[in-house]
Amino acid sequence: MNVLPIPTDHSKPIRLSAKENAYNQLQQWIIDGTLLPGEKLNDTELAKALGVSRTPIRESLQLLESQGFVKMYPGKATQVTEVEKDSIKDLLPPLAVIQALSAELAIPNLTDEILEQLKKTNDLFSDAIRTENYYSALKVDEQFHKIIVSAANNKYIDGILESLQAHVRRQFFHNSIALTEKSVDDHWEIINLLEAGDVQALSTVMKENWVRNINKF
């Protein structure tokens, strides 16, 4: 029997429900390639690995199917979907627009604490790129943008971005897209424009920060 390449040292957030924990972990493994495209998933094996019953695993797989990460074949198998490289052209433009809107909505809610958090996160981002730790850089870049989205305080934007962002992360991981110092500079400019409350310039920089990556594909 084929054994899934499941890590044994994964974290298990205790504050999440079994379904939430299973969903988050499975999605992460699909995004970062721990579970490769075409991999057949066994719910019993996944349940054992995550220390939960098969019910939350099945519920998680159903949700992942609705988002396009797996394909379920009733009575046969569940497989991780392939990564369609060309889909990045459809993913990045709406992501860029919604991220720009998030930044605009975040302006009235900014505090010194949020700005300091953004600056510290961008320092970490810069360090990751300088040391060529591109895997870490992708995760820190996402953290930077999540701070802004959180400050926007709009649950509908949260929901839309969560799905788009997950697919974009998967594209970046599987295509080995490396972020550069230009992204670090973008982040500093975004922080400055947030502080200045310059909506028009902020929107432009935010969109360019994302759409520019289409050319890397």
pTM above 0.85, yes or no: no
CATH architecture, domain defined by 18-80: Orthogonal Bundle (1.10)
| The Cα angle at residue 166 between residues 162 and 10, in degrees rounded to 5 | 105
Largest CA distance in the chain: 59
Q: What tens digit of pLDDT does each residue of 16-45 get?
A: 688 899 999 999 999 988 999 999 999 999
**Quick check: 154 and 120 in contact, CB under 8 A?**
no
Residues facing 73 on adjacent strands: 77
Mean pLDDT calculated for residue range 158-184: 87
Quick one: pLDDT at residue 13?
47
What's the pLDDT at 185?
95
Fold held by 85-216: Four Helix Bundle (Hemerythrin (Met), subunit A) (1.20.120)
Instruction: List, in order, residues 6 or more apart from 94 with CB less than 8 Å away.
Output: 164
Instruction: Give the helix/strand (H/E) hosting 184.
Output: helix 181-196
Listing DSSP states for 145-166 in one string gives HHHHHHHHT-HHHHHHHHHHHH
- Cross-strand bridge partners of residue 52: none
Give the pLDDT of residue 217.
Answer: 67
Per domain, the residue ranges of the chain are 18-80, 85-216
